[in-house]
Amino acid sequence: MRDYELGIVVSPEASEEQTKAILDRVSQMVQTNGGQVVKVHPWGRRRLAYPIERHRDGLYFFLDLSLTPQTVLEIDRNLKVTEAVIRFLMVKLDPRAVAMQRAREAQAAATLHPEVPVEAKAEAAEQVEEAEASDVEALGEADEVDEVDESDDAPEADEEAEGEA
């Protein structure tokens, strides 16, 4: 299972029933293929950056999904033939960013609900620390690569300076 974000722009002329049917169809496809709809973010009516099919506005929806790559192809195929959908985009999310976000949400839920056991709060704090530590390690590896590249450039500069002299 991988985490994805699906952005859908629906025609402003589509009725509320049509919009709900589109979202239900996507949710049903995800669930029948063993996936999960984590969250639905309805942004509402927004102005488009440029006209698409003579529409200046669109109804925006963003869905956080956890599903298999084969399901992505099925959703893609289905949304392409849906006339009420103006545009859509499926993006695979970074697993580390998703882990950090879920850990933050768990920690926030633990602080908002004091009746949650102390073990759950400690576990949420550990998840946040682990996610942050993995990001620090990744940044450290990137810095090491940069340092190696910089040292490789230095002898070339010395050779050019000697050739000019």
Domain ranges of the chain: 2-93, 97-150
Whole-angstrom Cα distance, residue 161 to residue 66? 56
User: What per-residue confidence (pLDDT) applies to 85?
Assistant: 95
Q: How many CB atoms lie within 10 A of CB 146?
A: 10
Please give the pLDDT value at position 147.
47
The separation between the first and the last C-alpha atoms of the chain, rounded to the nearest angstrom, is 61
Q: Cβ contacts of residue 45 below 8 Å, gap of 6+?
A: 12, 57, 58, 59, 60
Cα distances (Å, whole numbers) of residue 54 to 22, 58, 107 = 21, 11, 45
**Rounded Cα distance, 76 and 107, in Å:** 34
State pLDDT tens for residues 134-148: 555 555 554 444 444
Domain 2-93 carries which CATH code? Answer: 3.30.70.60
| Interstrand relation of 85-92 and 55-67 (parallel, antiparallel or unpaired) | unpaired
Q: pLDDT by residue (tens digit) across 40-88?
A: 999 999 999 999 989 999 999 999 999 998 999 999 999 999 999 999 9
Cα dist from 135 to 25, 93, 99, 107, 145, whole Å = 37, 15, 11, 18, 16
pLDDT higher for 21 or 159? 21
**Is the pLDDT score of 35 beyond 50?**
yes
* Confidence (pLDDT) at 1: 87
CA distance 108 to 55: 40
Query: 113 CB contacts (<8 Å, ≥6 apart)?
Result: none
pLDDT attached to residue 41 = 93
Query: Residue 86 in contact with residue 49, Cβ under 8 Å?
Result: no
pLDDT value for 114? 63
pLDDT grade for 99, boundaries at 50, 70 and 90:
confident
The pLDDT of residue 19:
94
Given a cut of 50, is residue 149 above it in pLDDT? Answer: no
- The residue-averaged pLDDT of 24-37 equals 93
Whether the CB-CB separation of 52 and 58 falls below 8 Å is answered with: yes
| pTM of the complete model | 0.65
Question: Position 4: which residue type?
Answer: Y
